[in-house]
Every structure is written in C-alpha cells, then in structure tokens.
Structure 1
C-alpha cells in the first residue's frame, strides 16, 4: 500500500507539517473554485431560462390570465400554509383571490426543465375557455419563481373515486351513469383541444390524476405541462423522447413501428382511463408488475367477448350494465395499437352518446402480453 510521505520543517522547537497543510489548502481551494464555477454556470443557465420565459411572455401579450408579482402570489396562497398536493412539476396550495374566489396555486419547482412546463401551461390553456378544461386565472414569473393560479376544484381528482380501495378512501364507487357523464364530458374537452382551437393541443398526459372534479362533479382536464401545440392540419408530430405516465402512453411513443405520434396518442390514453373507470383497477405497468398478472385490457376484452358481467360491488340494473358495456367497447376502440384504427375524439363523443346496438366489438386491441413495448426515456408527471 502506497504511503503518504509527510516532510516536516524544524524551526526551533516548532514542527510545521508543510505537506499536510499544502494538501488541505489545495483541496479547500479546489472546492471554492468548483463551487464558484457551479454557481456561475447555474446563474448563467437560470438567466437563459428567464430570458426564454420573458421572451415568450412578451410575445404572449397582456391579455388574460392576469400576471401577478410574487408577493401577490404569496398573499393569494396564504403564505403556502394549506398544501393540497404534490405533482411532478411542483406543489399545489389552496388560496383565494382578492375578490374572494377560491383558487389552487401551483408553485413550479426551479429544477423542472427549462421553463417549458410553465410556457406550455400558459400557451395552451391561458387563452382558451371550455367547460371541461381547468381554467388558468393567473400566473407569476419573477426570476426562478414561477406560479400558476387555477380555478379551485373541490372534489379533487378522478383518481380518488376510481381506486378507493388502493387510496384507502371510504367513498362510494362511481355509478355507471356518473361514469358515462364523466367520460363524455372529458371526451368533449379533448375534442375541443384537438379540433376546436386555432392550434391543436396534444396533452400527452391524460390520466385519472389529471381529471379534476368541480362542485357538481363535472370533470375538467388539467396539467398541460407536457402539452404540445401543432397546426390543426398537422397529422404527425416529432418528439425527441416518449412523454407521459407509464400505463397511459400510446405504443407509437415508444416505437415508430406502431405508427406516427399524433392526437391519436391522447385517444389511447383516454381509452386506458375509461378502462380503469369501469374496472376499478389500475392499468398495471408491464415492466414492473408481477408478470403473472393479467394485462388489464386483455382481462376486460375477454369479458366483453364472453359476455360476462362486471365483478363490481354495487348492484346494477340492465340499463347500468348497458352503459358499462358501452363505455368498455368505446375504450377498447380507443386503445387499438395501430393509431389509424382509433377513433377521433369527435367519433368517441358520438359513440358515447349513441346506442349500444350500433357499437361493434373492436378487434383485439393489443398484441400478446410478451410483445408489448417496454417503457424507456419517459417524462413522468
């Protein structure tokens, strides 16, 4: 083993450990230099992000939603004392506007991307207003402090009403007629995003957690941090990596062998959401779950083919069973692996408002369990 040779200089009765003190000084100096360099690069990086955001806001103009200062946001959020939840892009707090309107304030974390989640939210939902899309009432951008102020949704997310047994929440499961209402309203919100705006909005993270419920349990689509704008006549978009939440991501986002990425990718996510609603089960991630478990769409498809009834705890009338079957067949069409075989959200709305007799059972919407695409390079929220 190599030994550290330390030389001592005798000065009278004093012995000075020259080598040891020199090494310590060198290490200390290196740490100071490294820290200074890191802070300098971080400062320059933050300046670039701020410049990018401010350029966007300048082009965005002064129209609503309202821009607030950070002290104003702090006051609106009541000094961030009432935390509602934590998401991939930051923490959400309950607050109140000066006029008394209750709001949800999302404080974006400084480490999330290059300001893209902030820009995405303001650019997509800042200028649109639809009954089934959460409304952005204001925002703040001061240095690296960024906040988004939304209308308050008192009944939280759809997730808590689907997976009551998983979330340990004593809530009555959603009745079939309420499931149909929520699915239809969500579909109308997505139809507006895809067809009703000047630019098509691709959400890329449709899931129960991002469907919020208002005072009357009307659903509103939220969290546009991963959204992408494109021309309404643009059929295919280019992404550098898959984005979304595993279990809801369409196959084409993993591999181009399944087709091009488009608004049909949102349709797939919607289908998975509806399958979870009707089954009360999570869409398991094939990369991490027990491989012996049955893939949820496969389990549901077999039930539909065999005409089996749903194993739900609540008693259902013949009309309820028909609504459940209608929801299920529509969802199975939405999760077809070939994007071309999936319906548009306009077609989905028509299927949900039509009669069950006019719905045909789709082809098997998946390949075998062993050949499903494996998740990689995903951006989770």
Structure 2
C-alpha cells in the first residue's frame, strides 16, 4: 500500500503483513477448485485487495496528535496514548468511566512496547538477584517476578569489551519481533553501565536439557513426537526472522542452549546478542570477525572460500541442532570405534540402522528419518545447496517418503 496525497504526511511506504482466516475466502466453486489444487500459499502469493481510509474514525485524530491508538478485546477504539504520556479516551477527554477498557489499553501497549526499568527496580524484581537460573558467556540469568506476580527471567549481560554491542543487538532485535517461537522481551534496563533484559519465564529451561537420551536431571527423554514438534517450531521461528519481521534478522548462534521451552514445550528462539539486522531484500551479509559457537558455525562464517554469509548460515546451525536432537552426536561419541569420525558422515553411513534402533516403532522411525534428512540438507557445504527456512518448513510438513537424502557434501 502506498498513499501519495500531499495532505497526508504519514504516507504508508512499507509492506504490512496481516493474517487471513480461511473463512474469508470467497465461496465460489472456481475459488474452491483453485484452493484444492494450489493450496493457501499460492493464493496468498497472488494477493488480495485491502482498503484503508486513514481519515475515518477517532484513530485519525489520535495519530494527528502523534499519539498511539489502542483497542479493546472487541476491536473497539478505546483511547489514545498521547505523546505527553497522558491517556485520552474515545470521547477525547483525559478522564474516562471505562476503567476496564483503559486497563486493557495500557496492558496492550505494555505488551507491544517493552517497559524501561531502573536498576533499582530490577533489583526489586529479582529480590536482589537471589535466584540464579544459569550463567554463560552471555551473562547471568536470574528469576524474578513482576508486581502482578508474573514470573520473568532477568539477564544481566557480562561487562565485555564490545561496549554493550551485544546488549544493543539483542534489544534492537527483540523490539522488532513478535512470534510464538521467539522469546518475548518484556522490559529492559539501560542505566549507564548497568544493563538488564527482562524476558518471559521459560519453566522448562533450554532444549539442551532434552537434546539427548536423558535430560540433565535424569528424567525420561522427550518422545519423538515432542522432539519433532520442537524442530518444527524452531523452523517457523527462523522463517519468521529471515522473512516476515520487516527488518530481517540473522541470528548467528542457533544451538540447543539458545532454544528455550515454555510450560507446553513450545520452543522459543533466544539470545540475540550476535544477531545481525539487515534490509528485507538484502541477501549477502557483511560481518566483522567470526560469530557463533564451534560445532554450529556455518563454514562460510569462518572462511569465505565456502561461500557468502547470508541467512543460510542460520540454516546450517539449525541442521546441526536437529541432528543433535536425534542424538547422532551423542551416539557416535559413546562408540570408541567411530568417535574419531565427523558425526554427519557417520549418519550417512549408518542411517537405516540408526533410524531403526532409535525410532523403534514405524511411526517414530519415520520421524527420525525425516529429521535426519532435513538436517543433512541444512548442513550442505555450499550455502546455495541448503534450503531456505521456508523450504525446511515444507520438508518437515511433507511425507517422509517424498524426501530424498542429499549428496554427501559435508565439512570434513
């Protein structure tokens, strides 16, 4: 959409992605025939018409005063958050009798725009950093709770030599994202050298706990069906980052440690400290120095002889993560006779036997085989031979029998 009227200074010059429900399709016989043959994806690619009238309704007045419109759960305009911080309701007064709607509006705005906290408030949320959840090269994570009782994870980045670059990378990345498979940033602290990031709390920790046969607490491993669902969720999250979030984001550090699991084991991509933001049409990325984790870094990231750096570098890391999820690395490391081999090569040589032993029943065998084939495609040596994350999602959703093993072109 693009509006050229001279009297409208805030012309829309960017693409807007909106969900389209299947109930909205025209009920004509011809349309249903197209839907059956082409699927929703092709119909969406053909496009559909949207109408937009910016001068209609109270939101126009709100935007003219540089405010932010808000709506209640019924889709009704309930007020305007003004540039001076005050709140005007639908009748343009500062005071309103619709207390419930104003509460909803403030809550909705808070969800869209992460709150800025002082360092003193961060200490209060974490009870002076009393409950440590984990520590790594990125910093230390503590459990905390908001005034409404909601649990949160508070990350205090390390004081590194990058002068806060990783912190700003993560803040800039997550303030641009909103997806079920990307961790939600609820707030942040930026007070001189004191910095903190406040996320939604993930009760099941990271995927690293479940990547192999048993998690770190000795509990039973996840079922193959659950692991497959996690792999699909990560793929959807990466597809969103690479394609659908406006300013495209390449993560550069996909690995089990950076995939968090909520109470329903829904995966959330986290830790955007090494992420790179790029224009929507930018395919080749320039970075300073190698970034990522050994074992998951794409070959082109540490040596240009393998190709150019792009979103396909995340695809490689995703493939290594998937192969680790099926236990390939763990299996080969326990076998003294084959431990010197590169584990994807071992998978090529022992795939049928491994799928049978790991899967057991036929349904699980099919899942294991599909994950391995997708993983092997993702770690192809040349970036151009790897699928996009959109294609990865399609591969995961198709029948296992429709997939074929890629040529053996791997990093030795």
> Shorter-chain TM-score: what band?
0.7 to 0.9
Match of 1:105 among 147, 150, 154: 154
Cα offsets for 1:212-269 (capped at 9, x unmatched): 0000001000000000000121111111211000000000011111000000000000
Match of 2:193 in 1: 144
Cα deviation, residue 65, structure 1: 0.6
Unaligned runs of 5+ in 1: 1-61, 370-381
CA distance in structure 1 between the aligned counterparts of 2:373 and 2:396, rounded to whole angstroms: 10
CA distance in structure 2 between the aligned counterparts of 1:265 and 1:149, rounded to whole angstroms: 28
Match of 1:317 in 2: 361
CA distance in structure 1 between the aligned counterparts of 2:384 and 2:327, rounded to whole angstroms: 26
Are the equivalent residues in 2 in contact too, given 1:161–1:171 (CA < 8 A)?
no
CA distance in structure 2 between the aligned counterparts of 1:164 and 1:317, rounded to whole angstroms: 17
Task: Return structure 1 stretches of 4+ with deviation > 6 angstroms.
Answer: none
Q: Which protein is bigger by CA-based radius of gyration?
A: 1
Cα deviation, residue 302, structure 1: 1.2
Unaligned runs of 5+ in 2: 1-109
Are the equivalent residues in 2 in contact too, given 1:76–1:97 (CA < 8 A)?
yes
Match of 1:86 in 2: 135
Match of 1:352 in 2: 396
Are the equivalent residues in 2 in contact too, given 1:201–1:228 (CA < 8 A)?
yes
Alignment of 1:253-272 (within 5 A): 253-272=301-320
Match of 1:296 among 343, 352, 375: 343
Partner secondary structure for residue 283 of structure 2: coil
Question: RMSD in angstroms over aligned alpha carbons?
Answer: 2.2
Are the equivalent residues in 2 in contact too, given 1:164–1:170 (CA < 8 A)?
no
Match of 2:170 among 98, 117, 121: 121
Cα deviation, residue 280, structure 1: 5.3
CA distance in structure 2 between the aligned counterparts of 1:212 and 1:99, rounded to whole angstroms: 23
- After superposition, the Cα gap between the structure-2 partners of 1:84 and 1:312, relative to the gap in structure 1 and judged at 3 Å, is farther
- After superposition, the Cα gap between the structure-2 partners of 1:360 and 1:290, relative to the gap in structure 1 and judged at 3 Å, is closer
- After superposition, the Cα gap between the structure-2 partners of 1:280 and 1:366, relative to the gap in structure 1 and judged at 3 Å, is closer
Cα offsets for 1:104-131 (capped at 9, x unmatched): 0001122251111111111111232100
- After superposition, the Cα gap between the structure-2 partners of 1:291 and 1:92, relative to the gap in structure 1 and judged at 3 Å, is same
Partner secondary structure for residue 233 of structure 1: coil
Match of 2:384 in 1: 340
Cα deviation, residue 164, structure 1: 5.5
CA distance in structure 2 between the aligned counterparts of 1:190 and 1:68, rounded to whole angstroms: 29
Partner secondary structure for residue 184 of structure 1: helix
Match of 1:328 in 2: 372
CA distance in structure 2 between the aligned counterparts of 1:189 and 1:248, rounded to whole angstroms: 18
Match of 1:130 in 2: 179
TM-score normalized with structure 2 length: 0.69
Match of 2:279 in 1: 231
Match of 1:192 among 235, 240, 252: 240
